[in-house]
């Protein structure tokens, strides 16, 4: 299956001020859910983000592969920094709808979550996300509807 994941250069850079705010809120060791999972933000642009989920034993299921819930969490979180970068001020946002499709299992490689905004309206955003291995093998994809503001 071919699934097109956009390149960062297709999106405007985010401001240094925004990147500082994101690092402070979602930085390593954070006590919110994202910090507990170990998700790290690698890159943020206006309408785009790339995050990483380092693999560790606590994320595995009994079959020895990454739990689907951990994958869904990475897919669900990814659009948040991408959307945040689209606004001058912090906006509340929440997932209204999340559709996850699993394409394969992951067990020995850190995972990369890429998310992008397809359409941003006044109070609703439509986004997509993909999880791949570091080698680029597609693991899961998602489409979302977010309430914004």
Write out the two tokens for 12. Answer: 């405007």
Per-residue pLDDT tens for 69-111? Answer: 999 999 999 999 999 999 988 889 999 999 999 999 999 899 9
Band of pLDDT at residue 28, cut at 50, 70 and 90: low
Band of pLDDT at residue 31, cut at 50, 70 and 90: low
Instruction: Count structural domains, the chain.
Output: 1
Residue 19 lies in a domain: yes
Residue 2 lies in a domain: no
Residue 126 lies in a domain: yes
pTM score, two decimals?
A: 0.92
For tokens 């739990």, the residue is 67
Residue 78 CB contacts under 8 Å (≥ 6 apart), including other chains: 49, 51, 113, 114, 115, 129
In angstroms, the CA 125 to CA 117 distance is: 7
Residue 1 lies in a domain: no
- CATH number for the domain harbouring residue 23: 3.10.129.10
Question: What is the domain range of residue 67?
Answer: 8-148
Band of pLDDT at residue 117, cut at 50, 70 and 90: very high
pLDDT of residue 18: 81
């Amino acid at each position: 299956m071919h699934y097109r994941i956009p390149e960062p250069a297709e999106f405007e850079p985010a401001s240094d001020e925004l990147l500082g705010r994101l690092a402070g809120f979602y930085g390593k060791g954070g006590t919110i859910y994202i910090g507990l999972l170990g998700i790290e933000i690698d890159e943020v642009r206006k309408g785009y983000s790339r995050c990483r989920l380092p693999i560790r034993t606590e994320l595995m299921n009994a079959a020895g592969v990454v739990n689907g819930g951990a994958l869904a969490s990475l897919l669900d979180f990814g659009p948040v920094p991408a959307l945040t970068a689209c606004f001058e001020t912090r906006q509340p946002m929440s997932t209204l709808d999340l559709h996850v499709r699993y394409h394969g299992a992951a067990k020995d490689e850190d995972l990369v979550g890429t998310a992008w905004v397809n359409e941003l309206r006044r109070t609703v955003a439509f986004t997509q996300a993909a999880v791949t291995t570091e080698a680029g093998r597609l693991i899961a994809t998602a489409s979302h509807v977010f309430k914004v503001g």
